[in-house]
Structure 1
Amino acid sequence: MTLSYLAFHLIFTIPPIVLLATTLPRPLAGVGGKRGAWALPLLCLIAFTYTTPWDNYLVANEIWWYGESRVLATIGYVPVEEYAFFILQPILTGLFLYHYLSRSSETNKRTEAPRWIGGGFWLAVSVLGWWMIASGIDAFLYMGLIIGWAGPILAFLWFYDGPQLWQYRRTMLVTVGIPTVYLWIADAIAIHNGIWTISPQFTVGIEPFGLPIEEATFFLVTNLMVVKGILLFLDSAPALFSNEAVSSQRTPMS
């Protein structure tokens, strides 16, 4: 079966978004009040702005490319369906996070160590990514561009409020892990169907279950950015993640 990029969205991204949006147990404002209503639009805007030049660079340098006659149109070097992905992925993962927050509470001891451990780890990952880019080794280029691009954002989030993130580590594990595995499966199917192709020249050649490790890393780090960004944005609402707080906020979005 030959799939277009639009068909990919109609099968793998839009249906779960519709399902998650229509089955939220309460109006979106029930999670984080008005901040809950603004978190996803702002995050989508940031994701679109930050990802657009990076992804155009990848396609322009043939690190990945899309199948012939599989896309509706391109803007710059990137298909319009890819631009849509910059918005649809944060919505998908963000709505899954809202579902989880509306059904669970998590309280852990706050400690300062994660700020420096988490921030330091992702700063080191960033440096590794920049080294991989600068090394001139073709096989390292795609991975270097991924972690060199995502690492500074993740380091900033941990340095900004690592203790808060660590308090909700179980939340992050579930709400990053499940959407990431789902997108790994969808990505592997898209690659198998030739919707897009990842250059073997610029990857290390490790492909568990037919998915290049670079692609697996991409969806992991981008979902980490989505979940951590939303959690920190909502953080200023007192007792935000308690069941009591959620159940007391039943007004629709304004």
Structure 2
Amino acid sequence: MTYAHFLAAFLLPALAVAVLVAIYTIRAKGFGSTLRIGGCVLAVLVVVAVMWTAPWDSWIIGRGAWTTPPNSVSARVFRVPVEELGFMAAQVLVVGVWTLALLAHRVDGYNPAGPWPWARAPLTRVSATCLWMALIIAGAVATVASDRLLYQGSMVVLVGIPLAIQRAVGADVLRRFRVLRLFALAPVAYFWLADRIAIGQGTWSISTQYTTGWKILGLPIEEYVFFWLTSLLIVDGLVLACHQEIHRRLPVGSPTLRRIPGHTTRVETHSPQRAG
């Protein structure tokens, strides 16, 4: 099965479902500020995901950790198959649209304009950020220390950097809506299945030299981690971007967001006190 056939068989149906979910959500909830902001952020995430992941993809292809047969792809950009770039964009769209639908339906009590009186928020952000920084360092060490950890270690560095930034900004918000985020990761199971079939059909292959060799149901453990973490980036990015508490923490972003129709940022004001 060529990569193009794989995209037609697995990604086009997933995108079609995403379109139906988007239409249903807009008809049921209207095109309010959550969907407006989320839609703009999702468009940015598509571009950022491709630009951020493509260099790493090119590097692991050059090392031979991830390969495709010569007749499986139509063209390459810096060693990366153009179909792979399409896969990246499609994953962002599928996971992103599903996440926005959950946000619009206020799953897990999600209220983008709600108050945020949590005194432990700074401690949560610092601890979560430090955890991911430690994982990034561990991933970098693993990448250079062992060939069998190259794929996994470099992946943790790739995804860990933006995950750490997200937690520095809003780990407390993410913790509050952890049930919503878990539901939003449901499409990951579909990508695991599609990946397993693609490997079984020879569309691409994962080198045993640069991976641990551990598999679950025939799928390398590294692929489970890859789709989970990359999808988590999409979900968390949208959860944070749509919540006005994050807008208040990042005043630089507020003027840009205010240009989006329907967006309002609640700002607390205090009445001046008369001097006694």
Aligned residue in 1 for 2:169: 160
Where structure 1 has 5 or more consecutive residues not aligned to the other structure, the ranges are: 239-250
Q: Structure 1 residues 166-175 or 106-115, which shifts more?
A: 106-115
Q: Distance in 1 between matches of 2:178 and 2:41?
A: 20
Distance in 2, matches of 1:118 and 1:10, equals 39
Instruction: Give the one of 116, 119, 131 matched to 1:121.
Output: 131
Match of residue 25 from structure 2:
26
Compared CA separation, residues 187 and 33, structure 1 to 2 (3 A)? closer
Q: TM-score, normalised by structure 1?
A: 0.86
**Stretch moving more, 76-85 or 96-105:** 96-105
Q: Which has the higher contact order (CA 8 A, sep 6+)?
A: 1
Partner of 1:246: none
Between the aligned partners of 1:131 and 1:104, the Cα distance in structure 2 is 41
CA distance in structure 2 between the aligned counterparts of 1:180 and 1:172, rounded to whole angstroms: 12
Aligned amino acid, residue 5 of structure 2: A
**Who wins on radius of gyration, i.e. which is larger?**
2
> CA–CA distance in 1 between the matches of 2:35 and 2:212?
45
1:105 Cα offset (Å): 3.3
Q: For residues 213 and 107 of structure 2, what CA distance do their matches in structure 1 show?
A: 41
Q: Which one of the candidate residues 143, 148, 164 is aligned to 1:133? A: 143
Q: Which secondary structure state, in structure 1, belongs to the residue aligned with residue 25 of structure 2?
A: coil
Shift of the alpha carbon at 1:209? 0.6
Q: Which residue pairs with 1:17 in the alignment?
A: 15
String of CA shifts for 1:178-228, please: whole Å, max 9, x gaps: 111111111111111110010000001101111111111111110011111
Partner of 1:82: 84
Measured in 1, the distance between the counterparts of 2:25 and 2:216 equals: 39
What residue identity is the alignment partner of 1:86?
M
Whichever residue aligns with residue 135 of structure 2, its letter is: V
**Number of residues of Structure 1 aligned to a counterpart in Structure 2:** 236
In 2, Cα distance between equivalents of 1:64 and 1:124: 26
User: How high is the TM-score relative to the length of structure 2?
Assistant: 0.80
Q: What is the 5 A alignment of 1:70-219?
A: 70-107=72-109, 110=118, 111-112=120-121, 113-135=123-145, 137-176=146-185, 178-219=186-227
Amino acid aligned to 1:191:
I
Task: State the 1:237 CA deviation.
Answer: 8.1
List runs of 5+ in structure 2 lacking aligned partners. 111-116, 247-260, 263-276
Match of 1:58 in 2: 60
C-alpha separation between the residues in 2 aligned to 1:33 and 1:142?
Answer: 36
RMSD (Å), alpha carbons: 2.1
Tell me by how many angstroms 1:33 deviates. 4.5
